[in-house]
């Protein structure tokens, strides 16, 4: 009977992550453990970016300290005696803190997932997951390669390992919620049994996600999802800055974590828990039943309830609760283990009378000094079950135990069978439907492509490939630390990673991400410039800025005078859904940074003498200016906003930009004389190929 909760942080980086902010020394790894102890953490996971090497360092370090301890034991030297005490103190950290091996795995959707392994998993076994997933270089936050797997692939391939998968930070720009479009695929990502928990930052986003998961039919799960907060520490000082409470246990292994994550109501909490609050939460849930005691007349009811909850949506049975759910407790003496064992044995005998083994979770809660409540959580089962001595089938309906008729039983069996089949073949059906949809969209696209090519031309751009400037270490440190960075004014722009041509969530889509380094000595020039960055992202600025990048790639700058179109119109066209559709359809890529794709860019031939054409172009440029204005407005004071309120502000900003960007898309299609049916084909094609289309277009 365990009543305490402990703190856990399952998202911690080490110097083996290239973005770690700290020394690359052996003592840095110990600093992480010392900080974990100082923060009261009992369970942690080492989760470097696409790497298991950080956890491996701890294995080497513990072995090294143990060896040194044995060497120092026989010494009488004062210096070595002091060293022995230090070594023993450091070794004690490995006993006081349970360390799980993990990986922060980036899938091809640019989503970061946490994979937490059993502590006995061999290193080469964990590395195999990385190699199979497409990684050869480890520890990179922004890997140069794209993973072989999407989210579902990671689930499927990791299911053969003894591990759990968590959504690292679902409401961030690299989280599952913000990087999957609403629909069947997102639902499958959240309902897959390999997903155990969701890391989150914003309480308002948690409420939104929880509401969808708990109410939308396509999100129904056999097991609930735990919502958790972890530090995502990139320095030892950040360890334990965010944590989650875990019900205490004699042994913390992966099997216990699995049980805990599958039963968050009783085992997991982001707020400091109390047993009274947990019990009140359980009592307030649908399908919670109270049984006053373990007397014979209540045992038959208990068996029927297990069957009924298994055959329906699951629920709780609490021994020690009256029928009207008042806490009474069952007498156990003053924590007498013999009495507790006798009661649990009686409960187990009842469970043994069930036809097939139902999936149950059992917990004991103290109530006063000499009483306890015994909680049995029944999970919904894939099969219909009944008691061995009865031929009846039970279910739970409207919080009542009911006996099913023959017709209701047949319908229930069919429904369970259909759910099982849907789970097993749903992915394959979706893939076939997607392939068929792509083939259909391809044939429908042929006349659209021909139509565009007859009224467009391949331009001759004045190109300038520019390498990143070199900065001193102290300048780079200032660049990353300065809270003013990210505003719309500065003297260089900072390219952190490759940027997709079509962005879903970012507060800068058309404007450059500007940064300030005082006395840099490299001024910007008054030269309107279109920037094309690695990954295919397109930005516009009325100045020519130098840039800094953590990669070795250059940027492409389009400058000079364009004969037919303004720079703003060209920027909008390069970013448009139609251009991405044309490039992907013809060349299987929309990354215009790639030379093979860039050389095949076409621009529309437009007759500026026609007033209607001039008006549409003016409308596009006005909307472009409107987006630039919104981005500057959003940046003002953005770093002073409360962290809890920031996601909502950025979400509202993105929705507003989405609307205007979609209006630009429609104006461009109008300029190209595309019919509503052709626009529908274009949008359908892009969605089938996982290219972002603003959700505004679906309304």
Pairing of strands 400-403, 456-457: unpaired
Q: pLDDT of 423-463, one tens digit each? A: 566 566 666 766 676 677 777 888 999 999 999 998 888 77
Higher pLDDT, 507 or 235: 235
| Beta strands, E only, 215-324 | 226-228, 244-247, 268-269, 288-291, 315-319
- Residue given tokens 């809660």 in the structure block: 365
d(CA 114, CA 48): 9
Residue ranges of alpha helices (H) inside 455-566 are 473-481
496-532 burial, b if ≥16 CB within 10 A, otherwise e?
eebbbbbbbbbbbbbbbbbbbbeebeeebeeebbbbb
3-state secondary structure of 610: coil
* Cα 357 to Cα 381, 417, 534, distances in angstroms: 10, 18, 55
Residue 485: per-residue pLDDT: 45
Q: What is the mean pLDDT of residues 265-280?
A: 86
Residue 561: per-residue pLDDT: 65
Higher pLDDT, 616 or 379: 616
Local confidence band at 163 (pLDDT 50, 70, 90 cut-offs): very high
If one counts every other C-beta atom within 10 angstroms of the C-beta of residue 244, the result is 24
Instruction: State yes or no: pLDDT of 698 exceeds 60.
Output: no
375's enclosing H/E stretch is strand 371-378
226 - beta bridge partners?
A: 197
Residue 425: per-residue pLDDT: 62
* Cα 182 to Cα 386, 406, 428, 456, 504, distances in angstroms: 39, 39, 19, 35, 12
Considering the chain, what is the average pLDDT of its residues?
86
Question: Phi, psi at residue 43, to the nearest 5°?
Answer: -130, 130
DSSP string, 166-185: EES-TTSTTSTTTTS-TTHH
For the record, the structure tokens of 133 come out as: 């997933």
Confidence (pTM): 0.61
Q: Where are the domains of the chain?
A: 5-273, 282-403, 445-698
The closest of 658, 507, 581 to 173, measured between CA atoms, is: 507
Residue 421: per-residue pLDDT: 60
d(CA 401, CA 399): 7
Give the gyration radius of the chain's Cα atoms. 30
The closest of 349, 273, 272, 280 to 316, measured between CA atoms, is: 280
- Residue 529: alpha-carbon gap to chain centroid: 35
- Exposed/middle/buried for residue 296 (C-beta within 10 Å: 0-12, 13-18, 19+): exposed
d(CA 597, CA 436): 26
Where is average pLDDT lowest: 9-13, 311-315, 382-386?
Answer: 382-386
Instruction: State yes or no: pLDDT of 484 exceeds 50.
Output: no
- Residue given tokens 């068929």 in the structure block: 436
Local confidence band at 639 (pLDDT 50, 70, 90 cut-offs): low
Residue 113: per-residue pLDDT: 96
Fold of 5-273: TIM Barrel (3.20.20)
If one counts every other C-beta atom within 10 angstroms of the C-beta of residue 2, the result is 12
Residue ranges of alpha helices (H) inside 161-263 are 184-191, 203-215, 254-262
Residue 426: per-residue pLDDT: 59
Q: What is the mean pLDDT of residues 157-169?
A: 94
Q: Does domain 282-403 have CATH number 3.20.20?
A: no
Residue 489: per-residue pLDDT: 61
Instruction: State yes or no: pLDDT of 543 exceeds 70.
Output: yes
User: What 8-state DSSP symbol labels residue 225?
Assistant: P
d(CA 390, CA 29): 60
Q: pLDDT of 322-343, one tens digit each? A: 888 888 888 888 666 778 888 9
């Amino acid at each position: 009977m365990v009543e305490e909760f402990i703190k856990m942080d399952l998202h911690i980086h080490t110097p083996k992550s290239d973005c770690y902010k700290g020394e690359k020394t052996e003592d840095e790894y110990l600093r992480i453990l010392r900080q974990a102890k100082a923060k009261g953490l009992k369970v942690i996971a080492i989760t470097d970016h696409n790497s298991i090497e950080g956890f491996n360092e701890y294995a080497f370090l513990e072995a090294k300290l143990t060896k040194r301890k044995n060497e120092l034991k026989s010494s009488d030297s004062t210096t070595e005696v002091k060293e022995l005490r230090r070594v023993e103190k450091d070794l004690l950290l490995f006993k006081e803190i349970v360390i799980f091996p993990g990986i922060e795995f980036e899938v091809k959707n640019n989503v970061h997932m946490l994979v937490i392994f059993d502590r006995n998993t061999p290193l080469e076994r964990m590395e195999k997951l990385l190699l199979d997933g497409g990684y050869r270089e480890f520890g990179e936050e922004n890997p140069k390669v794209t993973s072989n797997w999407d989210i579902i692939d990671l689930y499927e391939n990791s299911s053969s390992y003894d591990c759990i998968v968590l959504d690292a930070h679902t409401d961030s720009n690299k989280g599952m919620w913000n990087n999957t479009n609403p629909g069947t695929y997102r639902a499958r990502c959240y309902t897959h049994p390999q997903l155990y928990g969701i890391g989150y930052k914003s309480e308002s986003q948690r409420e939104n996600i929880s509401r969808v998961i708990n109410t939308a039919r396509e999100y129904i799960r056999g097991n609930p999802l735990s919502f958790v907060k972890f530090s995502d520490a990139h320095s030892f000082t950040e360890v334990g800055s965010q944590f989650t409470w875990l019900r205490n246990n004699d042994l913390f292994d992966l099997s216990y974590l699995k049980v805990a994550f599958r039963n968050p109501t009783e085992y997991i909490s982001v707020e400091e828990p109390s047993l009274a609050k947990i019990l009140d939460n359980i009592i307030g849930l649908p399908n919670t039943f109270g049984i006053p005691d373990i007397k014979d007349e209540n045992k038959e009811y208990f068996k029927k309830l297990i069957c009924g909850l298994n055959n329906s949506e699951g629920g709780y049975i609490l021994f020690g609760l009256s029928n009207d759910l008042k806490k009474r407790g069952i007498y156990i003496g003053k924590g007498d283990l013999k009495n507790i064992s006798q009661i649990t044995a009686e409960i187990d005998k009842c469970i043994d009378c069930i036809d097939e083994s139902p999936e149950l979770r059992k917990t004991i809660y103290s109530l006063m000094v000499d009483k306890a409540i015994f909680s049995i959580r029944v999970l919904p089962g894939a099969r219909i079950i009944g008691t061995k001595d009865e031929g009846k089938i039970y279910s739970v309906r409207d919080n009542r135990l009911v006996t099913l008729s023959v017709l209701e039983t047949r319908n229930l069996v069919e429904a369970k069978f259909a759910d099982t089949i849907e789970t097993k073949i749903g992915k394959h059906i979706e893939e076939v439907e997607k392939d068929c949809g792509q083939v259909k969209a391809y044939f429908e696209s042929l006349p659209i492509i021909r139509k565009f090519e007859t009224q467009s031309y391949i331009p001759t751009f004045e190109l300038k490939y520019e390498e990143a400037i070199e900065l001193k270490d102290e300048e780079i440190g200032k660049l990353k630390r300065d809270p003013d960075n990210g505003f719309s004014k500065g003297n260089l722009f900072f390219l952190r990673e490759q940027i997709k041509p079509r962005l879903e969530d970012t507060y800068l889509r058309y404007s450059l991400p500007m940064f300030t380094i005082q006395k840099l000595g490299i001024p910007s020039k008054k030269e309107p410039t279109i920037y094309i960055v690695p990954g295919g992202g397109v930005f516009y600025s009325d100045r020519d800025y130098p840039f800094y990048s953590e990669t070795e790639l250059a940027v492409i700058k389009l400058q000079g005078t364009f004969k037919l179109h303004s720079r703003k119109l060209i920027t909008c066209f390069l970013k448009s859904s139609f251009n991405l559709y044309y490039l992907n359809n013809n060349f299987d890529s929309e990354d215009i940074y790639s030379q093979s794709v860039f050389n095949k860019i076409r621009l529309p031939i437009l007759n500026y003498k026609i007033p209607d054409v001039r008006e549409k172009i003016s409308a596009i440029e006005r909307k472009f200016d409107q987006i630039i204005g919104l981005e500057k407005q959003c940046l003002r004071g953005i770093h002073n906003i409360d962290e809890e309120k920031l996601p909502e502000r950025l979400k509202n900003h993105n929705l507003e930009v989405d609307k205007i960007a979609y209006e630009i898309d429609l104006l461009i299609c109008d300029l190209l004389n595309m019919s509503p049916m052709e626009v529908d084909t274009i949008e359908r094609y892009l969605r089938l190929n996982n290219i972002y289309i603003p959700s505004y277009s679906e309304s």
